[in-house]
A and B are shown apart, each in its own frame.
Chain A
Amino acid sequence: MGRRLADLFHGRTSLQVGGLLAGPMGWLVILYLGSLVVLLVASFWSVNAVSGELQKTFTTDNYHELLNQSVYKTVAFRTVRIAALATLTDALLAFPIAFYMAKIASPRVKGLLLVAILMPLWSFYLVKVYAWQTMLASGGVIDWALNPIGLNGPGYGSTAVWLVESYLWLPYMILPIYAGLERIPDSMLSASEDLGGKPWTTFRRVVLPLAFPAVVAGSIFTFSLTLGDYITPQLVSPDTQFIGNVIYSNHTNNLPLASAFAVVPIIVMVIYLGIARRLGAFEHL
């Protein structure tokens, strides 16, 4: 039987490709893309205020509301701003350690550092956010550390969200940059030195441009993960809304509105991915 099946496929490459792709593509296209399409369709519906039933008649009311009520723009801009800040912070924090690991550390230290960075990835996201929640509380670790020098911790709020998001996704920025830097042949750096370049010049004009696509690749994760996060804001910034919170709190009693608002991060990410691809980041994924 196995032989017959093998004979059937033999030589018919289109059948082979089709057979291989049927499962994964079926899953991703029908289930995943299809769900996104259904979500898009739902954004043009409305919901009965009392019974909660979906009224499946076409209406652009949800989009009108998104555009007219200023709060949605405020929330969207706030979220994008924090996502950008967190991405920037992570890039700045990640580069030194990635560079050190790629170019300076001995193989043993490199291995150790790699394990040191990977281990926290395995501790729960929730636990990390909760750790920050306790640290940021009044009288918690951060206040305890800053009070002696007369400062107060940032407490809960957007600053806290920026801190926590930077913290959570830092490893996802370090690793692609590290991998990207590893690919830069040492010979190139020596060549730059031989041509009279000081270390900073070499860094600026050789290393940075070559590593940039890797940074962009890492930024895809940090940006996207921050953009949709609704749990971190709930825990460390209970009085401000982010895109994730608005979608989460509306998705059961007003699904059409939540779907319409969900279109915003989708569009943002699609544009971001498009730009990232142009910058060559996809080679580094």
Chain B
Amino acid sequence: MSRLRAHPAWMPAGIVVGLAAIMLVIAGCGSSNNNGGSSTEAQKSIGPGEGKLNIICWAGYCEDGTITKGVDWVSPFEQETGCQVNVKIGDTSDQMVDLMRTGQYDGVSASGNATARLVEGGDVAPVNTDLVPNYKTIFPDLKDQPYNTFDGVNYGIPHGRGANLLMWRTDKVSPSPTSWSIILDPNQAKKYSGHISVYDDPIYIADAAMYLKAHQPDLGITDPYELNDDQFNAAVDLLKKQHPYVGDYWSSYLKQINLFTSGDDQVGSTWQYQYFTLLADKVPVAAPGPDTGYVPTEGATGWSDTWMIAKNAKHPNCMYKWMNYVTSAPVQAQIMQWFGEAPAQSTACDPATVETADKALGLPPDPKFCDNYHAADPAFWKRVYFWKTPLADCGDDRGNSCKDYNDWVSAWTEIKG
């Protein structure tokens, strides 16, 4: 092997150091994201469809027949416009923001705790509402809201709104709860230790804040998303006390359905979509009834969702067509009943439209749907605290002393332990 004994001609150490240095330099000059706070213009007109559409939806918003046979309002859209739709279901707002930032999607049904971040991060473009004829008949109290309009510019088309739901297994939980205290008051939560299900998202801290607003008024909480140090710490402490009793921090709605079916989960916060799915599967669950507006005594956090279009969407025309389609009365009537939320489209509450939708979904006729869900009742929604992005700017006379979203995210990791 003497022939093969090499001279020490190669200094791997030196090469490693050199290359590491190169990587450092490249990292420093690495490509930056799109600039935030854009002044891009909204589209002026809609051209022909591009044949494809990639959208991010909440569960139950974009049914295409693959989740539940027969429930499908995407296929008619595909036939009408030629835009083949690829639906990606987002589990949390964080996930939706991440997906939008990859630039590979054309649009998203964004809740209020995603909209500000998408606009600030330069991931979405303003929406020209003139190009969406169905926008005219959307409920007025959904238009020009702080979660869909920024600096006077419209960034989306309202989809619908709802409140997070308190749900429980009737065979495991009694008496029937009327307040969030069953999972937020440590003394009551103890009873169901290991069987409580809570949404796995920092935004859940607002639920604790809303609870404290009603039960500890001296904290002075008015907006559960704008919390100063004391208020924030109180909410976080409450959730830390809840932590030992939580069995499931759910982010996948499907997993929560499985856990409620098996009885691993017995009480918790959820969405109407899971509730109705479980009822259809004959699982004995219940939630607050229409008499209280489906909402416990303290009120509830909730959402008001907006369809937004990506900044450099690859299929913008299809996206505009979709936004108009999904806010049309017949489709809204189906979505609202399938998911269980109040529609954005006022004409969806027309009795004949509701009846047609019921037939299409195979549901019993429910002409009082819109009334029960307070679709046209702005006063009701004052008890529902829509998800929104916590900002350092409190928006009132406290100035910039509120906790921002980074704080919420860190606190959430801390709470989960």
A interface list, Cβ under 8 A from B: 13-14, 16-18, 21, 25, 29-30, 33-35, 37-38, 41-42, 47-54, 56, 65, 69-72, 74-75, 137-140, 155-156, 238-241, 246, 249-250, 252-254, 257
Contacts and interface: CB of A to CB of B under 8 A. Distances in A.
A36 B62 CA distance: 40
Contacts, number: 137
B19 A53 contact: no
B379 interface: no
B120 A51 contact: yes
A74 B247 contact: no
A215 to B, nearest CB: 31
A53 B246 contact: no
A37 B23 contact: yes
B253 interface: no
Nearest to A238: B248
B94 interface: yes
B413 A30 contact: no
Interface in B381-405: 389, 391-392, 404-405
A219 to B, nearest CB: 28
Interface of B: 4-7, 9-10, 12, 15-16, 19-20, 22-24, 26-28, 32-33, 36-37, 94, 97-98, 101, 116-117, 120-122, 194, 200, 246-250, 255, 258, 262-264, 389, 391-392, 404-407, 409-410, 413-414, 416-417
Contact of A138 (B122, B264, B414, B416): B264
A38 B27 contact: yes
Main DSSP-derived SS at the B contact region: helix
B330 to A, nearest CB: 37
Contacts of A70: 414
A33 B413 contact: no
A250 B413 contact: yes
Given A37-B27, A41-B24, A50-B391, 13 more contacts: A13-B5, A34-B19, A50-B116, A50-B121, A52-B33, A71-B414, A71-B416, A75-B417, A137-B262, A155-B194, A156-B264, A238-B250, A253-B94
A69 B23 contact: no
Contacts of B392: 49
Contacts of A56: 28
B391 A52 contact: no
B12 A51 contact: no
Nearest to A137: B262
Contacts of A53: 32-33, 36, 121
Given A33-B20, A53-B121, A238-B249, A138 B33 contact: no
B4 A254 contact: no
A54 B27 contact: no
Nearest to B392: A49
A156 B247 contact: yes
B138 to A, nearest CB: 27
Contacts of A240: 416-417
B97 A239 contact: no
Nearest to B99: A252
B400 to A, nearest CB: 12
B27 A71 contact: no
Contacts of A30: 19, 22-23
Nearest to B6: A13
B7 A14 contact: yes
Contact of A253 (B98, B194, B404, B417): B98
A34 B23 contact: yes
A51 B37 CA distance: 9
B54 to A, nearest CB: 18
A85 B417 CA distance: 20
B9 A17 contact: yes
Contact of A139 (B262, B404, B409, B414): B262
Contact of A17 (B10, B247, B405): B10
Given A50-B121, A50-B405, A238-B250, A71 B32 contact: no
B266 to A, nearest CB: 10
Nearest to B195: A138
A52 B23 contact: no
27 contacts: A13-B4, A13-B9, A14-B7, A14-B10, A29-B16, A30-B22, A33-B16, A33-B19, A37-B24, A38-B24, A49-B392, A49-B407, A51-B37, A51-B117, A52-B33, A52-B97, A52-B101, A52-B120, A53-B32, A53-B33, A137-B258, A137-B264, A138-B262, A156-B264, A238-B248, A250-B409, A252-B98
